Amino acid sequence: MAQPRPVIGGQEHLQTHFSSPAESSPSHSSKKVPFPSSSWIRAHLASKSPYPHESKKVKPLNKEDMPLDHELVQLHLICRHGTRYPSTSNSIAFRTLSEKIRKVEVPGFEWLQTWHAETIYPTTKGALLAPQGDSDLYQIGRRFAGRYKDFLDQHPYDANTYQFYSSGKSRCRQSAYGFTVGFLEGRHAGDLDKIVPKMKSRTSPVQPVDISTVPLGLDKELAVKFACPRWTESVKGQPKVVYEANTYDDRVLPELAEQLSNRYVSQGGVALVNFTRKDVQTIYTACGFEMSFYGNDKTWCQLLRLASPVRSLESRDHHASEEDIKSTFLKLEISSDLSRYYTYGPGVPFNRHLGCKLATSLLESIELALAPDADYSTGRRTSSSHDDEDDASKLFRGQFKFGHSETIMFFSSFLGLYNKKGVRMTATMTPEQYEEREFKTSDLSPFAANMAFEVFRPKAAKSSPRKWRLSDEDGLSPPPIQGKVRMFVNEEPMILPGCETELCDWVMFKSILERAGARCDFETCCSSLGSPSEDTPSLARLETMGEIMQDENQDELDGICLAVDPITG
Ligand SMILES: O=P(O)(O)O[C@@H]1[C@@H](OP(=O)(O)O)[C@H](OP(=O)(O)O)[C@@H](O)[C@@H](OP(=O)(O)O)[C@H]1OP(=O)(O)O
């Protein structure tokens, strides 16, 4: 006969009385159970954090927001896919843990009795884009449509001048499509009812677009880790790479697991559930998906309340304070960040190579768009002769790329975005140092995280051969390329390290990216056969963008592979 579940109020009491999270709801007269606000929690779930959707009204880009006497000529977006289902392994971990815990019925945790991972996160949907993910990208597309209304009016979509490019994973392709539905809503190339009067009635409700993708292993920009054997061999999961994260976890996780287990002890002192450190990490991940997927912090997130120390056992409440619960969330967020800081971030210099192809194509595309002789009617520069035409160097109005959290982390590391001070993230930082750290995946890589670039060209730059300067070697050549580039992270302007202002001068922008390693020798450095050059250790210490900029002896990084060893000191 099945053993009766220990139940609060029955023979087996839990050592401390739980108050139901429901009691924290306003409808209960009892004292509110301390718990952080949903908005605070949403901002501390590491790479499972929901996208900080801005409900703010997006105004069309106007003259005040543009550099004087310039025009917007090109847009770039690099975007993680939207909210997804947990991976199959995550879903199985949720099921296993929920079956382990539901043996004990706890007031306020009745949801566990009917929470079935297979129902809520079916393994057959592992890592697919979630309905919330569809919405994430549609809304970003709508906000882009609002800001760039005039640009789209002036330059309607066509498959030659707008590139939508996705990683080979369905969550990214579907995200790309969701973005286009929002971005091009209500717009159709050309004016159909003038072209084919009766066409209007048969028009597709959305503008069909061309979305290209590159097979995993060949994609050197988005799902780039699959195209870099050296990263897989020498960085991913390497003991020296995961050392700081493991050291931190060894110190912090057992205490949280013990705290949880202690809450599941009967008054007779019988341990009812033994939580492991892995269980604590699973609870944090499940909390992330519950919040991102359903906006629900009343299930798994509440278990992190029980993992927090209760400092008032003698008091009737037996509750952890809000401050202690926040501290528990922060510990798990730091644990997640330490792992990604070294695996995908600035903790290992080599990771910058995995962002260099994105930087190279960005640089070359902007350079083409800013060229005074750029001719969008032909998609080429008037100065380019037919024999040096390169299909890859096409003139785009917009390039929109959809990848993964690591796409954002590798590219951000390449740009030095979260390593300006060069403070190495370690397992032994003070709480203040952790609070001040630059590398926070909750901020830089939530679901649908994105980086965008606006490219402005001087209006006078429209050039024709008669304005070209005479140059000795080849007669006429176009005037120098000028322009401004503005970078956004999650739709907020961000100054690129090395630029003095938000509107970065093209010459400076180009110099920064080239010196950071654009046009790098990705193939050599990523080949498992190539060995990083003996110079590598000397470069490994040049970690912040500022250091690279200041070091006059620093030749451009081309042809030099950075260290696969984590930075030290
Ligand atoms: O699911 P996880 O957390 O175990 O790991 C994912 C990883 O997600 P995240 O950790 O960055 O949120 C990235 O997924 P997205 O950024 O696409 O959400 C990685 O791309 C994904 O790698 P994959 O594309 O090879 O599956 C990680 O899954 P993994 O568990 O297989 O390492």
pLDDT digits 0-9 by tens, 466-481:
555 555 566 666 678 9
Residues 6 or more apart whose Cβ sits within 8 Å of residue 556: 514, 515, 517, 519
Q: Compute the distance from residue 187 Cα to the ligand 1 centre, in Å.
A: 35
Residue type present at position 387: D
Q: Given this model, what pLDDT does residue 479 score?
A: 74
Determine the pLDDT at residue 144. Answer: 97
Contacting residues for 247 by C-beta, under 8 A, at least 6 apart:
427, 428
Over the stretch 324-356, which tens digit does the pLDDT of each residue have? 999 999 999 999 999 999 999 999 999 999 999
Would residue 118 count as lying in a domain?
no
Across 109-113, 237-241, 555-559, least confident range:
555-559
Structure confidence by residue, pLDDT tens digits, 274-321:
999 999 999 999 999 999 999 999 999 999 999 999 886 654 457 899
- pLDDT band with cut points at 50, 70 and 90 for residue 540: low
Q: Please give the number of the atom of ligand 1 that sits closest to the Cα of 46.
A: 12
List the single range of 92-96, 116-120, 176-180, 393-397 with lowest mean pLDDT: 393-397
Report which of 482, 494, 485 is spatially closest to residue 513, judged by C-alpha positions.
485
Q: pLDDT tier at 376 (50, 70, 90 boundaries)?
A: confident
Residue 487 scores a pLDDT above 80: yes
Q: 488: which strand partners? A: 452, 493
Q: Which of 179-188, 193-202, 238-247, 426-435 has the lowest mean pLDDT?
A: 193-202
Confidence bin at 22 (pLDDT 50/70/90): very low
Looking at ligand 1, which atom is closest to the CA of residue 80? 16
CA proximity to 77, closest of 10, 4, 3, 164: 164
For residue 113, what pLDDT is reported? 92
Ligand 1 neighbour 87 (Cβ under 6 A): yes
Domain count, the chain: 1
480 CA → ligand 1 middle, Å: 43
pLDDT band of 518, cuts 50, 70, 90: confident
Q: Is the pLDDT of residue 547 over 60?
A: no
Residue 9 pLDDT > 70, yes or no?
no
Q: Is 234's C-beta closer than 6 angstroms to any atom of ligand 1? A: no
Q: Which atom of ligand 1 is nearest to the CA of 407?
A: 16
pLDDT score at 352: 95
Is 535 or 121 the better-scoring residue by pLDDT? 121
Nearest CA, atom 30, ligand 1: 87
pLDDT at 534: 57
- pLDDT higher than 90, residue 396: yes
- State residue 25's pLDDT score: 35
% of the chain beyond a pLDDT of 90:
69
Least confident of 407-411, 443-447, 460-464: 460-464
Domain membership of residue 33 (yes or no) is no
* CATH number of the domain enclosing 337: 3.40.50.1240
Is 512 domain-assigned? yes
Give the residue-averaged pLDDT of 357-375: 92
CA 361, CA 320: separation in Å to the nearest integer?
Answer: 51
Q: Does the C-beta of 298 come closer than 6 Å to ligand 1? A: no
Cα 449 to averaged position of ligand 1 atoms, centre (Å): 14
Q: What single string gives the DSSP state of each residue in 307-343?
A: TSPPS-TTSS-----HHHHHHHHHHHHHHHHHHHHHH
Residue nearest to atom 28 of ligand 1 (CA): 87
155 within a domain of the structure (yes/no): yes
Calpha distance 52→136 (Å, rounded): 10
Cβ of 282 closer than 6 Å to ligand 1, yes or no, is: no
Q: Which two tokens stand for residue 270?
A: 């019988």
Answer yes or no: is pLDDT of 214 > 80: yes
d(CA 310, CA 15): 12
The whole-number pLDDT of residue 532 equals 58
Domain extent, residue 539, equals: 39-84+128-384+409-462+478-569
Q: Is the pLDDT of residue 193 over 80?
A: no
Domain annotation covers residue 338? yes
Ligand 1 contact, 405 CB (< 6 A): yes
- Looking at the CA of residue 84, tell me the nearest atom of ligand 1: 18
Average pLDDT for 73-93: 98
452 forms beta bridges with 77, 488
* Residue 197 pLDDT grade (very low, low, confident, very high; cuts 50, 70, 90): low
CA of 64 to the centre of ligand 1 (A): 41
Using the atom order of ligand 1, give the atom closest to the CA of residue 169.
24
In a domain? residue 7: no
Q: Which atom of ligand 1 is nearest to the CA of 171?
A: 17
Give residue 37 CA to ligand 1 midpoint distance, Å: 27
Q: In this model, does residue 525 exceed pLDDT 50?
A: yes
**What pLDDT sits at residue 41?**
98
47 lines ligand 1 (CB under 6 A): yes
Whether the predicted pLDDT of 526 surpasses 70: yes
Distance 406 CA to ligand 1 centre (A): 8
Calculate the alpha carbon distances from 24 to 32, 51, 55, 517, 527 in Å: 4, 26, 27, 53, 56
Q: Is the CB of 136 inside a 6 Å radius of any atom of ligand 1?
A: no
Residue nearest to atom 29 of ligand 1 (CA): 87
E-strand ranges in 319-468 read: 374-375, 380-381, 398-403, 450-458
Residue 154: which pLDDT band, with cuts at 50, 70 and 90? very high
More confident residue, 161 or 14: 161
Residue nearest (by alpha carbon) to ligand 1 atom 7: 405
Higher pLDDT, 476 or 255: 255
pLDDT above 70 for 536: no
Q: What's the whole-model pTM score?
A: 0.90
SS3 track for 37-94: CHHHHHCCCHHHCCCCCCCCCCCCCCHHHCCCCEEEEEEEEEEECCCECCCHHHHHHH
| Residue ID of nearest Cα to ligand 1 atom 21 | 404
In this prediction, residue 23 carries a pLDDT of 36
Residue 309 lies inside a defined structural domain of this protein: yes
pLDDT band at 500 (very low <50, low <70, confident <90, very high): confident
pLDDT averaged over every residue in the chain: 86
- Joined together, the tokens standing for residue 378 give 């032909």
Give the distance (Å) from ligand 1 centre to CA of residue 537.
30
What is the per-residue pLDDT for 105?
Answer: 85
Mutate to test the pocket of ligand 1, among 405, 408, 412 (most ligand atoms within 8 A of CB): 405
- Residue 98: inside a domain, yes or no? no
Q: Is the CB of 406 under 6 A from ligand 1?
A: yes
The model's confidence at residue 59, banded by pLDDT at 50, 70 and 90, is: confident
The predicted pLDDT at position 108 comes to 85
84 lines ligand 1 (CB under 6 A): yes
Provide the pLDDT confidence category of residue 559 given band limits of 50, 70 and 90: low
